[in-house]
Amino acid sequence: MQELSAKQQYNNNKLQKRLRRHVGQAIADFNMIEDGDRVMVCLSGGKDSFAMLDILRNLQASAPIHFDIIAVNLDQKQPGFPPEVLPNYLDNIGVEYKIVEEDTYSIVKEKIPEGKTTCSLCSRLRRGILYRTASELGATKIALGHHRDDILETLMLNMFYGGKLKAMPPKLVSDDGKHVVIRPLAYCREKDLIRYADWKAFPIIPCNLCGSQENLQRKAMKEMLNDWDRRFPGRIETMFNAIQNITPSHLMDHKLFDFKSINSNSGIIDGGDIAFDKQDIPAVPQSLVIEPDDRLEIIEIN
């Protein structure tokens, strides 16, 4: 491996500190991991899950609480999948793990016509297997590698195609009530995770089942958000802050807010009509959680 320059090492240190802080903040904000937890880290072989495992292990070493980690990979029997890559990597870093072998690939190819999106069926099959595995392993938390960009893409997909104001929750309970699913990378930017994976040289395994499918709706949302990020710096951060700063009385879900009982005796609610004055809208996007400028990290280097 080529030796890093002082500047490269400095930037890598900034990157690692930023990702550690974002993961640690997400864990704290949503109480994702508690003392005594056994966290099942779902390792797909992609950059995000590799980064999640690496950062969680890093935090585990200095956390004020004790929690265990077990990595789980689902070998879906995709043609060309290299079965030795993940076991070799996990043995080398000394992580407890389990490889689950289930031929979901054949099921998906049989059920989904050629050219159609396989993601929904594949994810349902994968979810059921991972839940079963979590029960077998005694895992108290199931960690998935979805990041900030995944959450925003899901928000946009639900708005544009599903007619719902809904994204990915950072923490949820499964439908059967038996499992708690967490997303420790919820505050992390995908571009940071890409840089981190390049630096760490994770043995990335591409997904041949869905990775070759073009023109997916999610791909279109990703391209749109990336375009906004390039042309309007700060917009993506502001959007992400918006889903953490919700005012139900200024939306239109009468099941979420009791509009029917509002009358002239109710008093002003959440700023009333003043909340819509244009002068109150900032001229520059407001970034409250995720800094858009890496230079802000310089103050944290000791």
Q: Which residues are annotated as a binding site for [4Fe-4S] cluster?
A: 119, 122, 210
Q: Tell me which residue of 163, 197, 189 sits closest to 53, measured CA to CA.
A: 197
Contact 8, 109 (CB under 8 A): no
β 141-143/180-182 pair status: parallel
List Cα–Cα distances, 147 to 43, 50, 183, in angstroms: 14, 13, 7
Rounded to the nearest 5 degrees, what angle is found at the Cα of 191, between the Cα atoms of 154 and 158? 5
How far apart are alpha carbons 186 and 289 in whole angstroms? 11
How far apart are alpha carbons 23 and 38 in whole angstroms? 17
* 44, 80, 131, 158 alpha-carbon torsion, rounded to 10°: 70
Q: Quick one: 71 exposed, middle or buried, by C-beta within 10 A (0-12, 13-18, 19+)?
A: buried
Beta strands in the chain (DSSP E): 38-42, 68-75, 97-101, 141-143, 171-173, 180-182
Rounded to the nearest 5 degrees, what angle is found at the Cα of 160, between the Cα atoms of 157 and 161? 75
* Residue 36 burial (CB count, 10 A): 10
Give the list of residues 6+ apart from residue 180 with CB closer than 8 angstroms, or none: 140, 141, 142, 171, 172, 173, 174
Give the list of residues 6+ apart from residue 66 with CB closer than 8 angstroms, or none: 35, 36
Residue numbering of the annotated binding site:
119, 122, 210
